[in-house]
Structure 1
Amino acid sequence: MTNEPLLLTRRDPARNMARFYVLTIEPDLFDGAALTRNWGRIGTKGRFRIDLFGSRQEAERRCLALVRSKVKRGYQQKAETG
């Protein structure tokens, strides 16, 4: 997994739904990793959360679990641009 942001979106015009979920893994200052999450309605800043992990592998496992959960709920993976 790279340091590039992973963008997931979910759109359902019939339900007036347009949501985003962005995941990024970054190194922290203590040889661990930080999983940053940003989510909300498309067009807003949304909410933001940082989870700290002792290693990059732990952060990647949590990130993949979140992606699987979101895909099950109807999110689709998109490439992050600019």
Structure 2
Amino acid sequence: MGQSSLFPIAATLQRICPERNEWRYYRLSLEPDLFGGTALVRHWGRIGTAGVRRPKLYADEGVAANELAALIRYRRKRGYVLLD
């Protein structure tokens, strides 16, 4: 496993468990929005499908980065492996 960045702006995680028929991915990214803020974009689903994409807008990039780091920690506790 590679070393993760101190302040990541994107991450891809996956959880594969053939015994439970689980083939899942979870992507997170910070993207600028049209109003000068930052959008935390969550994209998840079954590997090989389009999945679901949900942006959440933040006025402060620091708050969005903290939320991204918290979501990475949460997903890793749930068995996801960080790919990036």
* TM-score of the two chains, using structure 1 as the length reference: 0.88
Q: Quick one: structure 1 residues 8 and 60, their matched pair in 2 at CA, closer, same or farther if it must change by over 3 Å?
A: same
| CA deviation string 1:13-54 (max 9, x = no partner) | 110101000001011122210000100000000001000001
Q: CA RMSD in A?
A: 1.1
Secondary structure in 2 matching 1:74: coil
Alignment partner of 2:83: what SS? strand
Shift, 1:56, TM fit: 0.7
SS at structure 1 position matched to 2:34: coil
How much identity, in percent, do the aligned residues show?
Answer: 44
Please list every run of 5 or more consecutive structure 2 residues that lacks an aligned counterpart in the other structure.
1-6
1:40 is aligned to: 45
Partner of 2:13: 8
Number of residues of Structure 1 aligned to a counterpart in Structure 2: 78
Unpaired runs of at least 5, structure 1: none
Report the counterpart of residue 3 of structure 2 in structure 1.
none
Q: Which of 67, 73, 83 is matched with 1:78 structurally? A: 83
TM-score w.r.t. the length of structure 2 is 0.86
Give runs of ≥4 in structure 1 deviating > 4 Å: none
